[in-house]
Structure 1
Amino acid sequence: MAETLRNKIFDGVFAPGCHLMEIALATELGVSRTPVRGAMARLADEGLLVYLPNKGFQVRRFNAKDVFDAFTLRANLEGMACRLLGERGIDDEVFAQLAALVGEQARLLQNRDWTSARALRWHELNLDFHRKLLQAADNRWLTEAVYRACQLPIIFDSNLRPHNRDASMQLYRHEQALQALDDHTRILEALGQRDGVEAEAAMRDHILGHRDLLVHHLRKNATEARAMARV
């Protein structure tokens, strides 16, 4: 139940500031109020919901600073994972799997016709690349910390995901995906050379670049919203 509600928040079905009505949700999902109540309490513990006395649960609002801080933390954590891998040495099979992902990313980007379907596939490959690196680092505490850091900004990310019909709103436009591919290649080369310092720096640069892109978009949207409110 918690996963169902969490996904609805991540997908933008429940927008920041939205009040979740226990009875309505139970009816919609075909369950009693008890599991819905428990799921909302769990998401409040995770920081995705806030409880307001006499009003119930509300989807937490995050500002640009929240996103900036979460991505900064993630950059350091995933950078650490790459450093550990570089120092320890990466398994040949895992390295081959990562190389295959990067190869598919490169082939995808050879076509300048950057459709929503291609952007969505890029998004999936990017997630697979990061997940596989974390799995290879083999540190449960590190993985859980990264997972927690990823939960906050994804609420903002929902309207920028590749399935959005407006290609100009895609977070990964073709030129940005090309830069990400270069970053992934740099990370992979450093791991292949067992250069933990370079692997860490490459991952940090990669995530911080993504952070700056998203924060810029959020601040631009906020400025435009304030301007429209004054009209």
Structure 2
Amino acid sequence: MDSRVAQRIRELIVEGILPPGTRVAEAAIAERLGVSRTPVRNALPALASEGLLEPAGKRGYAVRNFTVEDSYRATEIRCVLEGYAARELASRSDRGPIIEELRDTLAQGDSIFAKGHVVKDDENAYAEMNRRFHDLIVGGAEDPLLSDLIQRVYSVPFVAPEVVAFNRIPLEEIYPILISGHHQHHAIVDAIEEGEPHVAETLMRGHSSPARRSLGLEGSGPQ
């Protein structure tokens, strides 16, 4: 339930219903969404970790001010860092257990796309699958500094891999974007399993395009 509440609050921010600087009051949000204050209270720290909210007052949060260019640049940086992680993982001789987990994650994604389209209810399942995929690769590199740097990049709004925006793009348009990204997931895991560090890195760095497109950031970057 908390994840659904977080997604609904995220949509209010994305759609500008909660503009930058707006204080997010638990009671008001709970009333708007028709839920109790508890899931709202639990969702706010998660949204803050994504960079959508920032601390305001002793225990409150406000909508963070950010630009589309901020998110575009951070997505590029994210994929460079994750490319390094994929290279490191592909170079490890003990990568077998991580590959098994990655294959399991790919199967979860396959099941989401098996029907040939996506629906609104797929949003949370896709977000959880995508976050697990990226976490496994970053964690598999076993580099604490890299993990810290990536977490800093994830704090920029709309950059963390679990952030999806089904409300920003029509479902019939987002499906080919997401399925293309998932095909890239398969190719990345194949390269890691086959011990091809440079291929894995190149594929992971190229993964920024579907990430941007799925959030409506394509074409919004620096000119």
TM-score of the two chains, using structure 1 as the length reference? 0.66
Structure 1 alignment gaps of length 5 or more: 1-6, 31-39, 220-231
Deviates more, 1:95-104 or 1:9-18: 9-18
Confirm whether residue 20 of structure 1 aligns to residue 23 of structure 2: yes
Alignment map for 1:200-219 (pairs within 5 Å): 200-214=201-215, 216=217, 219=220
For residues 183-202 of structure 1, the aligned pairs below 5 Å read: 183-202=184-203
In terms of fraction of residues, the more helix-rich structure is 1
Tell me by how many angstroms 1:214 deviates.
Answer: 3.1
- CA-CA distance at 1:61 after TM superposition: 1.7
Query: Which residue of structure 1 lines up, in the alignment, with residue 131 of structure 2?
Result: 127
Look at both structures and tell me which one has the larger radius of gyration over its CA atoms: 1
Which residue does 1:226 correspond to in 2? Answer: none
Of 100, 112, 130, 2:116 maps to: 112
Contact 1:161–1:170 (8 Å) recurs in 2: no
The yes-or-no answer on 1:148 pairing with 2:149 is no
Deviates more, 1:134-143 or 1:184-193: 134-143
Kept after mapping to 2: 8 A contact 1:119/1:173: no
> Once superposed, what is the RMSD of the aligned Cα atoms?
4.1
4+ runs of 1 displaced by more than 6 Å? 7-10, 155-159
Gapped regions of structure 2 (runs ≥ 5): 1-5, 29-35, 39-44
TM-score when normalising by structure 2: 0.68
Aligned match of 1:11: 10
AA matched with 2:158: I
Give % identity: 19
**Residues 157 and 171 (structure 1 numbering): CA distance in 2 closer, same or farther, change over 3 Å?**
farther
CA distance in 2, matches of 1:213, 1:172: 9
Match of 1:197, SS? helix
The whole-number CA distance in structure 2 between the counterparts of 1:156 and 1:170 is: 20
